[in-house]
Amino acid sequence: MKYAVGEIILVVIGILIAFQLNEWNDHRKQVKLEQEYYCRLLDDVRLDEKQTQILLEQAEERLVASNHAVRLLLEDNSEKIEIASQITRSTKAVFSDFKPNNSAFDDLKSGANLNIISDKLIIKALNRYFNRFEELKSIIMVNGKHAVDILFAHEDYFANGAVQASIREGRFKDGLDEDLKEAILVLDDDILTSQMRRRLLNESLEFVSVNTRQIELYQLLLQETNALKVQLEVKCAAQ
């Protein structure tokens, strides 16, 4: 009887040990998977940071061009084609659509995967990040559309020099046949009327405002990406 009881106890102990080993192994896999998600999320945020930095640099270049356009428009002897070129640069890619890299977060949200993240502060930070990103992006897009609407509100693109500028360095440079370029440039008198100069000055000042605001918004986006990146770097590096 004692021998039988001893065997039963040993079997029970073995079962308990096996159960604990399974639990430990499952927990280890869970921790590893959680850390993998942290690193995937970090990779996405770093891509967002890189994308936002590029957009910020473009906005800074647009701001330089829009200031140059204002400067040229205040001068009486500035060339129409040069003014138009600077205005074109002032609005280049101003309405670029972009979105955050959220593949890892979307994967987490599918099914019960979100429970993999044990640190609920990270979940809160992720939700804030994507909500804030969309909020700032919507403002950027509204500002960009405003600039594009101004740019394309003209009826005569010869009068403001846009056609000539496009032949020199825009889409017409590659898309228009050489004989057509020459024929069109003959039509250019390189004179801005006082009314057109006044209009372009007002528009260029508006482009200064739009690009200044976009720089502010992209800087805010970089602050958001950096804050989340710092949190995820700690989690990804944890062993």
Query: Averaged over 80-97, what is the pLDDT?
Result: 93
**Using one digit for the tens of pLDDT, what is the confidence trace for 97-132?**
888 998 888 888 776 666 788 888 998 999 999 999
Percentage, residues of the chain above pLDDT 90: 57
DSSP category for residue 170: S
Query: Averaged over 143-152, what is the pLDDT?
Result: 96
H/E run at residue 143: helix 120-151
Q: Which domain holds residue 211?
A: 2-237
Exposure string of 161-187, with b = 16+ CB inside 10 Å and e = fewer, is: bbbbbbbbebebeeebeeeeeeebeee
Residues 56/218, Cβ–Cβ less than 8 Å: yes
- What does the longest C-alpha to C-alpha distance in the chain come to? 116
- The total number of structural domains in the chain stands at 1
pTM of the predicted structure, to 2 decimals: 0.85
- In this prediction, residue 188 carries a pLDDT of 74
Residues 14/98, Cβ–Cβ less than 8 Å: no
**Using one digit for the tens of pLDDT, what is the confidence trace for 50-74?**
999 999 999 999 999 999 999 999 9
